[in-house]
Amino acid sequence: LDALEYANSRQAFRGGKTEITDVKVIQKTLTFLGYRSRIIANPEMVVAKKEENSRDIEPQPPPDPSVLVRRPPVVTIMGHVDHGKTTLLDALRNTNVVAQEFGGITQHIGAFSVKMSSGNTISFLDTPGHAAFSHMRARGASLTDIIILVVAADDGLMPQTVESIQHAKSADVPLIVAINKMDKHTADVEGTEQMLLQYDVIPEKFGGDVQCVPISALKGTNLQQLQEAVITLAELMDLKGDPVGNVEGRVIESRLVTGKGKVATVIIERGTLKKGNLLIAGTSYAKVYFLSVINSLRLVAKREVSTLKCDVSCLTGRGIYSDKGSQLKEATLSSPVEVTGWKEFPSAGDQVLQAQSEKQIKEAIDWRNSLKMEEKMDTDQEAINEKREKHDAEYKKQLQLRQSLGRREYNFVLKTIKPNRAKEEEVHHEGPSLSIVLKGDVDGSIDAILNTLDTYKSQICRLSIIHHGVGEVAMSDIDNAKLFDGEIFAFNVPVSETVREHAKLNNVVIHEDNVIYKLFDNLVDSLSKRLPLRE
């Protein structure tokens, strides 16, 4: 309001109109007053906010190469359904020996890490499948360093296997192939490796660079080799990160945990997360009081079994560490950690950034909220435009349809009246007519009905078939029928509630029959109803 008044007065002062209609003038004035402003799609709206009160966290400069250190790889498991992704994840989790003592603890919390006897660590994202991976990628997060492609040796390459290969290629993430279910007597490891060649995945055996490890996720066979393959590849990739910069990370998932509140699984991508750090993700923030790395099944060994409730988040909770005084002081690169104390749920894929002060958090959240609001206003306007465009397109389509159907109908009429050429004149008069859409369960029944309809020669009431086909009655059938003031004849096919509703709204009659002669009875009725009433 201030800005408007100010702009008005200046305009008035210059002898212009007192009413400001030019958004540019408003914007200029706003800038003068120290606001950042933006025109929202609709030119009557300008959003503005004062610069100094909100500001996002500044991106930090890239790290100095001299500070970089080796970091563990982050691995995602992909593959066709039922090829053993979940079993493999569970097996890998359980290679942390202690877990087995507590019995299958397999709660999925987004990520976990495995420490090998060699001292190497691997972080696994534990949401198997494509949804998670695509979701992350869509949000610009390329967290995954290596993909383990699980292929069942008794099934070979299947559609989702190929899809995974394509995912890996387009994301430029290297693959390791775990040829699973080698314990089965139907397993064909060799054949499976051969099949990979078709998709340009060349196993080492054939001179390529893709490691293939035959495993049995179920029996736990060769899991060690699989992990070693991951480490070998990671060393080759020379994965490095900056342990000293401000903390940056990614939210893998967030959830509510009784007693701990809003908890997020975060993977550290830069810096070292310490107690007392302030974090911001999306429009949420947290102060890190308790930190626990999620490979904790190993750490938990120190704890009495009796209090464990077979719940990983409980195992990794503050209680355990504070009791023993062994709570983690910091979390390093690539570690999946559980961070408690979020004010709102951060979303999976959100970037996590470290803030220097509560004030900086407040400013950044103000900024992000106002951006969100602007986006919402934009999308509202976009939604309106989209609706309008859709409406226009629909109208155009209907028009075209009407024209094309008109031609088709004309052809049909010409065809059916051929034997009665003498009567052609009569036919083209604007007499009573009935147009129908015929839908049936199988080709056979449609053919039978069409054959009978072909014998219909009466010109008292013309009959046109606008459309016929196999399948249930669709919305478009109703639209077609409506255009010609027609009726629907459904033979042995279901009519959904939505379609029925649509028909009712458009005054389109649907006849449903499952006996052919009844269909014809109804048809004759409908034809008769089109005739003018006798005086």
Under 8 Å between Cβ of 486 and 434:
yes
Which of 116, 218, 257, 371 is the binder for ligand GDP (CB under 6 A)? 218
User: In the complex with ligand GDP, which residue's Cβ is closer, 173 or 189?
Assistant: 189
Say whether residue 84 binds ligand GDP (CB under 6 A): yes
- How far is 188 from 476, CA to CA, in rounded Å? 49
- How far is 56 from 49, CA to CA, in rounded Å? 13
Question: Which H or E element spans position 159?
Answer: helix 159-171
Q: Minimum distance from CB of 154 to ligand GDP (Å)?
A: 8
- The closest alpha carbon to 23, from 51, 46, 49, belongs to 46
- How far is 420 from 456, CA to CA, in rounded Å? 12
Say whether residue 162 binds ligand GDP (CB under 6 A): no
Say whether residue 93 binds ligand GDP (CB under 6 A): no
Which of 128, 203, 336, 486 is the binder for ligand GDP (CB under 6 A)? 128
User: In the complex with ligand GDP, which residue's Cβ is closer, 155 or 330?
Assistant: 155
Rounded to 5°, the CA angle 431-436-439 comes to 170
Which of 25, 70, 82, 432 is the binder for ligand GDP (CB under 6 A)? 82
Residues 174-213 that bind ligand GDP (CB under 6 A): 180-181, 183-184
- How far is 454 from 346, CA to CA, in rounded Å? 65
Q: Minimum distance from CB of 220 to ligand GDP (Å)?
A: 9
Q: What residue spans of 284-432 are helical by DSSP H?
A: 312-315, 318-324, 358-417, 424-427
User: In the complex with ligand GDP, which residue's Cβ is closer, 218 or 453?
Assistant: 218
**Which CA distances in Å does 75 have to 113, 124, 133, 146, 240?**
10, 5, 11, 5, 15
Under 8 Å between Cβ of 460 and 433:
no
Q: Minimum distance from CB of 439 to ligand GDP (Å)?
A: 38
Q: Which two tokens stand for residue 480?
A: 């077609």
User: In the complex with ligand GDP, which residue's Cβ is closer, 129 or 341?
Assistant: 129
User: In the complex with ligand GDP, which residue's Cβ is closer, 83 or 502?
Assistant: 83
Strands (E), 181-229: 212-214
Say whether residue 87 binds ligand GDP (CB under 6 A): yes
Q: Minimum distance from CB of 192 to ligand GDP (Å)?
A: 13
Stretch in the footprint of ligand GDP (CB under 6 A) among 214-222, 270-278, 370-378, 427-435: 214-222
Q: Minimum distance from CB of 190 to ligand GDP (Å)?
A: 17
Number of residues assigned to the chain: 535
Which of 41, 45, 67, 81 is the binder for ligand GDP (CB under 6 A)? 81
Q: Minimum distance from CB of 160 to ligand GDP (Å)?
A: 9
Stretch in the footprint of ligand GDP (CB under 6 A) among 76-84, 198-206, 324-332, 343-351: 76-84
User: In the complex with ligand GDP, which residue's Cβ is closer, 86 or 283?
Assistant: 86
Rounded to 5°, the CA angle 354-358-359 comes to 110
Stretch in the footprint of ligand GDP (CB under 6 A) among 74-82, 133-141, 198-206, 332-340: 74-82
287 CB-contact burial (10 Å; exposed 0-12 / middle 13-18 / buried 19+)? middle
Under 8 Å between Cβ of 109 and 255:
yes
Q: Count of residues binding ligand GDP (CB under 6 A)?
A: 16
Say whether residue 343 binds ligand GDP (CB under 6 A): no
User: In the complex with ligand GDP, which residue's Cβ is closer, 82 or 366?
Assistant: 82
Which of 8, 54, 86, 433 is the binder for ligand GDP (CB under 6 A)? 86
Under 8 Å between Cβ of 57 and 12:
no
Binding site for ligand GDP (CB under 6 A): 79, 81-87, 128, 180-181, 183-184, 216-218
